[in-house]
């Protein structure tokens, strides 16, 4: 059985896939700036990005400032989406982004600038893939993990 996140008929919690792509573009800009500014400012900026990822990971992508901006400013100027997506894969992707930016933040704080830059670079690469190609690495990882999970609804026949 294949796990799909696209839905032609959405539920109230489903997301317009262009929203996370828009958020990824904004995130990519922030993370690119982190890589070119002095370490003290980079530490603060990557910390702020980690907080934004935490909001998306814990509260859902629909509750992020990026989602609000997309709903209020961008989406009204676009045609309706062809399909909606399950919010769980993007929410998982936010948790992955949180992990990388948390490592970057701690690295910068500890004086391990290279660790901070490498972790930021990985998060930037993932954000760019989503922003440019609408390929969400964290979403794909979520789907792989779902396929690997044992099917909890199956029963074994005893007899």
Does the predicted TM-score (pTM) go above 0.85? yes
Please name the residue ranges forming H helices in the chain: 18-36, 39-59, 65-69, 88-109, 113-133, 137-148
Q: Are 17 and 67 spatial neighbours (Cβ–Cβ below 8 Å)?
A: no
Does residue 11 belong to any structural domain of this protein?
no
Query: Per-residue pLDDT for 158 more than 70?
Result: no
Does residue 140 belong to any structural domain of this protein?
yes
Q: pLDDT tens-digit profile of 89-119?
A: 999 999 999 999 999 999 999 999 999 999 9
Q: pLDDT tens-digit profile of 55-72?
A: 999 999 999 999 999 999
Q: At what angle do helices 39-59 and 88-109 cross, to 10 degrees?
A: 150
Q: Are 126 and 137 spatial neighbours (Cβ–Cβ below 8 Å)?
A: yes
Does residue 10 belong to any structural domain of this protein?
no
**Considering its fold, how many domains does the chain have in total?**
1
Does residue 159 belong to any structural domain of this protein?
no
Residue 101: domain span: 16-78+85-147
């Amino acid at each position: 059985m294949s796990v799909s996140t696209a839905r032609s008929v959405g539920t109230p919690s489903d997301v317009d896939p262009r929203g996370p792509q828009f958020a990824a573009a904004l995130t990519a800009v922030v993370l690119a700036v982190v890589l070119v500014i002095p370490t003290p400012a980079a530490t603060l900026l990557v910390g702020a990005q980690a907080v934004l990822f935490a909001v998306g990971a814990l509260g859902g992508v629909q509750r992020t400032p990026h989602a609000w901006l997309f709903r209020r400013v961008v989406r009204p100027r676009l045609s309706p989406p062809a399909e909606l997506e399950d919010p769980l894969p993007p929410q998982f992707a936010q948790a992955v982004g949180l992990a990388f930016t948390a490592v970057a933040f701690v690295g910068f704080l500890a004086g391990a600038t290279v660790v901070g830059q490498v972790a930021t670079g990985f998060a930037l690469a993932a954000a760019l893939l989503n922003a440019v190609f609408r390929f969400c690495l964290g979403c794909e990882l979520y789907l792989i993990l779902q396929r690997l999970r044992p099917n909890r609804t199956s029963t074994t026949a005893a007899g």
